Structure 1
Amino acid sequence: MKRRDFIKVTGMGVAGAAALAAPAIAQSAPEIKWRMAASWPKSLDTLYGGAEVLTKAVAEATDNKFQIQLFAAGEIVPGLQVLDAVQNGTVECGHTASYYYFGKDPTFTFGTAVPFGPNQRLNQAWYMLGGGKELLNDFYKGYNVRSFLAGNTGCQMGGWFRKEIKTVDDLKGLKMRIGGFTGRVMQKLGAVPQQIAGGDIYPALEKGTIDAAEWVGPYDDEKLGFYKVAPHYYYPGWWEGGPILLSFVNLDKWNALPKHYQNILEQAGQYANSWMMAKYDQTNPPALRRLLAGGTKLHAFSPAIMEACLKAAKELHAETAAGNANFKKVLDSLTAFTNNGYQWFQVAEVGYDNFMARHSQG
């Protein structure tokens, strides 16, 4: 039978075929509107900007059929209550740092960064390919959420201090804004940790409610104005060698999504992750130069302080793992992956980076 005769017999041309296909396509691409609560103020255009990149990518990939309305910290819930809002269905998803919720269970720490944990590349490699995503999502389902990768800041700074910190004894009695599980490490050394959302740090530092504060790095820290009230800027932030940011999604809402919408969400998160890393690499160098030109005093933590902090962190990890099976399971996985990764890094990566850093001065 000739093609022309077949079309006459079946009564179907291209338009007819399209008509039959259209309902199936429509059913597989429903119109969905979600809300996302972020832990960041809009002024932090790299952290909040990562969430914007994510939501925009989802809309564009679905021809605006899947839209996620983004809300900054405080617009629906405070910045440190994003997980709760996602868990109870107040919003469908959130953009946050998992370690903010370590008070519920210390295992939440691993979804961002553990003290003296891996750098940026190793942390996300563990999450993506080293079993981290599976281990964490198995843990998160107990809180009615699941996660996907949505950002990384790179190695952070050690924070802003009103006075110099020369010895371990100088940490005793120090009231410091420091996020998550790391506060317990600082407690072992005599400090008094405070967990304060980003937008509330400056007033506390200005009023003397706290003596020191850490946030991210030069670009964000400059925006928050810490240099105006605390002139001593320390590095490195050993508590956040390469902190992951995650999007939490309500588990019921996730399971109700079409599979390809789930894939689009995760791919949008990957794009936001890459964008955020590139953005910080672009903006931190000039921001640090501006801070130093304005009088900021840059210091490295002394070897003695670093060693004391490492010892305290290892003690805390062991103590926590002894009483928390989830924490131990994730810690063992991350430690094995990190140790293996650093054995490779010191062969080529570290040597090359050190050489290039020495020849990039000026």
Structure 2
Amino acid sequence: MKRREFLKAAGLGAGASTIAMPAIAQSAPTINWRLQSAYPPSLDTLYGACKVFSKAVAEATDNKFNIQVFAAGEIVPVQSIVDGVQNATVEMGQTGSYFYIGKDPAFAFGTGLPFGPNTRQQHAWFYHAGGNDLLNEFYATYKLYHLPFGGTGTQMGGWFRKELKSKADLVGLKMRLGGLSGTVLQRLGLVPTQIAPGDIYTSLERGTIDAAEFVGPYDDEKLGLAKIAPYYYFPGFWEGAVSLSLFTNLDKWNELPPSYKSLLTTAASYAATDMLAKYDANNAAALRRLVANGAQLRAFPQDILQESYRAATALYAEIGEKSPTFKKILDHQMAFRNQVYQWAQISDFSYDSLMLNAIRQQW
């Protein structure tokens, strides 16, 4: 076959290039979006995930898909991230889904439930057990598309001005606490309240609240709470897994070419992995510094844990009676949680116990 005939047959002649180029351009359009975080730049792990994500997308597309990141409050109020994405004031928003349980209690599942799966198990549920598909069925009713966007690992139980001896010490105690966890502990007599992170220190100092939870050592250290609320409790049983959500306006998502949808999914997963790794790398050193500066580590009394578990179970049953969507997602996630804990008991947890004992005794 002559060269000209071969190129023509293969579609590689001069004429083919004039046809192919517009098709390529259409498959990789130039797009400029805005992403607002619910967090300030000072929380470099939470807010930083947005920067990691946007950088990965820009580099993978030779800057054809640019996502400009905005900090808390720069475009829409922090409490209105979901609303801003719904009405396309911003195309994307990063927040904790459970901040929006006032719209529907099923928003809690995007972040995590008290006594739910741990972080690894929750990610498994999202990615390989159909959890995120279930969530997107629900989020679509709010014109949202959801991608898991990292997590903190198991959080701490918070800072308390006074030591807790039993569940009786929770009665009348005012605590900065959000989501369904506040509703659970309210059943034990605690008084939950919502306070912005920047106001936690002054609220504790003035006695407006008696206790506060935030995240974990790396972020908590920035708040300086050990000076006025020295008792640092664990575990944060209401936040055994805390996942952040990356919401995209559903219409904007549907307009994207498949290659861009795939890229955003991959970049979000990368940012999620990076976030958890950063917390795991930094929390241990931060905890040592906190203890050196006066923090008193305490485990929650057993009766608080047991009564909270019972209260959470009862609460979920009550919500499920009123909300078929909540019950559908709850039943799916709890069945998965119960199953994977059987494996974790003989894998990670047995190995972790072995290593903790070995390190303590230095065999």
Q: TM-score range by the shorter chain?
A: over 0.9
Quote the Cα distance in structure 2 between the aligned partners of 1:51 and 1:360.
37
Report the Cα offset of residue 258 of structure 1.
Answer: 1.0
Aligned 8 A contact 2:149 2:245 in 1: yes
1:34 pairs with 2:33: yes
Question: For residue 183 of structure 1, what is the aligned residue in structure 2?
Answer: 182
Quote the Cα distance in structure 1 between the aligned partners of 2:188 and 2:181.
11
Report the Cα offset of residue 4 of structure 1.
Answer: 5.0
Once the two structures are superposed, residues 212-234 of structure 1 have per-residue CA deviations (whole angstroms, 9 ceiling, x without a partner) of 11111000000122223211100
**Segment drifting more, 332-341 vs 135-144:** 135-144
Note closer, same or farther for the CA distance 1:3–1:175 as it changes in structure 2 (3 Å cut). same
**Segment drifting more, 177-186 vs 332-341:** 177-186
Report the Cα offset of residue 195 of structure 1.
Answer: 2.1
Report the Cα offset of residue 204 of structure 1.
Answer: 2.3
Equivalent position amino acid for 1:359 in 2: A
Report the Cα offset of residue 16 of structure 1.
Answer: 5.4
Report the Cα offset of residue 15 of structure 1.
Answer: 6.0
Equivalent position amino acid for 1:294 in 2: N
Quote the Cα distance in structure 2 between the aligned partners of 1:5 and 1:270.
46
Report the Cα offset of residue 282 of structure 1.
Answer: 0.3
Q: Gaps (5+ residues) in structure 2?
A: none
Quote the Cα distance in structure 1 between the aligned partners of 2:133 and 2:82.
19
SS at match of 2:146: strand
1:25 pairs with 2:24: yes
- Report how many residues are paired: 360
Question: For residue 104 of structure 1, what is the aligned residue in structure 2?
Answer: 103
Question: For residue 282 of structure 1, what is the aligned residue in structure 2?
Answer: 281
Equivalent position amino acid for 1:222 in 2: E
SS at match of 2:284: helix
Q: Where do residues 76-87 of structure 1 align in structure 2 (5 Å cutoff)?
A: 76-87=75-86
Aligned 8 A contact 2:227 2:294 in 1: no
Equivalent position amino acid for 1:163 in 2: K
Once the two structures are superposed, residues 25-83 of structure 1 have per-residue CA deviations (whole angstroms, 9 ceiling, x without a partner) of 11111111111111111100011111111111111111111111111111112322211
Question: For residue 155 of structure 1, what is the aligned residue in structure 2?
Answer: 154
Quote the Cα distance in structure 2 between the aligned partners of 1:307 and 1:144.
38
Report the Cα offset of residue 17 of structure 1.
Answer: 4.3
Question: For residue 250 of structure 1, what is the aligned residue in structure 2?
Answer: 249
Q: Where do residues 93-172 of structure 1 align in structure 2 (5 Å cutoff)?
A: 93-172=92-171
**Segment drifting more, 122-131 vs 197-206:** 197-206
Fraction of identical pairs, as percent? 56
Question: For residue 58 of structure 1, what is the aligned residue in structure 2?
Answer: 57
Question: For residue 339 of structure 1, what is the aligned residue in structure 2?
Answer: 338
SS at match of 2:164: coil
1:2 pairs with 2:2: yes
Quote the Cα distance in structure 1 between the aligned partners of 2:151 and 2:342.
23
Once the two structures are superposed, residues 163-184 of structure 1 have per-residue CA deviations (whole angstroms, 9 ceiling, x without a partner) of 1111101111111111211110
SS at match of 1:40: coil
Q: Gaps (5+ residues) in structure 1?
A: none
The alignment's C-alpha RMSD in Å is 1.7
Question: For residue 192 of structure 2, what is the aligned residue in structure 1?
Answer: 193
Report the Cα offset of residue 283 of structure 1.
Answer: 0.2
Aligned 8 A contact 1:40 1:198 in 2: no
Quote the Cα distance in structure 2 between the aligned partners of 1:248 and 1:339.
28
Quote the Cα distance in structure 2 between the aligned partners of 1:98 and 1:170.
30
Quote the Cα distance in structure 1 between the aligned partners of 2:359 and 2:287.
16
Equivalent position amino acid for 2:347 in 1: A
Equivalent position amino acid for 1:3 in 2: R
